[in-house]
Structure 1
Amino acid sequence: MTEEETRRKRQARFERLAQVVVEPLHRYLLRRAGADLAEDVLSETMLVLWRRIDDVPGPGTGSATEPATEPDADPDADHSPDEVLPWCYGVARGCLANARRADGRRLRLVERLIRTQQRPPTGAADHSDHSDLHAALGALGALDREVVQLWAWEELAPRQIAEVTGLTSNAVSIRLHRAKKKLAAQLGRKDAERSGHKRDEGRSSQ
């Protein structure tokens, strides 16, 4: 089998798998995370499944050069939900754990930066941190910046922020989640690299 034929076979198997697992995985994640995080983790889960398509249980498992099914077999037989979903749930569970760890690091970073903002600068290093934080907050949209400040400085919960801003609690949670990610992207990239945390890729073994 040529490389192109192998690629097409893997692509076809992934597309059949996606038809079976995307909706159940989305429901699984929505029961365990907010809508915004669930969407992000679902995308990451499907990326892992694409990378590991040869590991997904079923007759198509193994070398991509081997036929996935017998010539007269049902082309969808290698994607029975009962067989593939438990394995895929395991991948999603690992991706969700990774995302929550990343959110925890971002949250700690933002909290540390907020504490820096609250302290008066005492030297050049503090002044630099102070300026960086102002710049990062200034890069947010006005409403996102207000949501972050109400959460960090006034210590309001999303429900309370919703009362202040006129947004729904869900909209506040989504805006806060995205704003923290933007702040982390601007201020925490080097900090996250120095942490030396090595991500898992879904499940390491079966």
Structure 2
Amino acid sequence: MDVDAEDRRRRFEALAPAMVDPLRRFLLRRTDPDTADEVLADTLLVCWRKVEQLPDEPLPWAYAVARHCLHNAQRGERRRRRLAAKVAGLAQPGDVPGPEPDGDPAVEAALAALRPADAELVRLWAWEQLTPAEIATVLDITPNAASIRLYRARQKLAERLRKNDAGAGHEGSREGRRP
């Protein structure tokens, strides 16, 4: 093994252990456990191949890689589902359901009502606890754009939650009224 290969190996071995658990949590929040493990392996492979490009704080960069790997896996799964549906002749391509959300139903409903890009911003901020600068790295946008978009997405989410809460909390209330 030459010196460069040994340096690459040492650098990867120093950085990878701290990335594995946060990346696994990131992926588990977005997909099922089996897919998360496969995408985690793909992500770590990309990190190994590009170990020289890893920044000093590699986690936001690795989140971006994981996000791309997950999108690739999801595209592949949609292709497999469409093909299976076509071969079986049982369903149209859009009829095959995706994974079920497993969080707070009110928050899940509010996130689902947002544009996908806004929902992803909120998830990166709330679930992964990233700063706007780190979110910018993940999404390949400027830190200023990330900050502005995050602010707007949080406002939209709060609005959705208020609407959902107001509608559910006051519909059947007869408190303070005479029958």
Structure with more of its chain in helix, by fraction: 2
TM-score (norm 1): 0.44
Query: Which structure would you say has the larger RCO, counting Cα contacts within 8 Å and 6 or more residues apart?
Result: 1
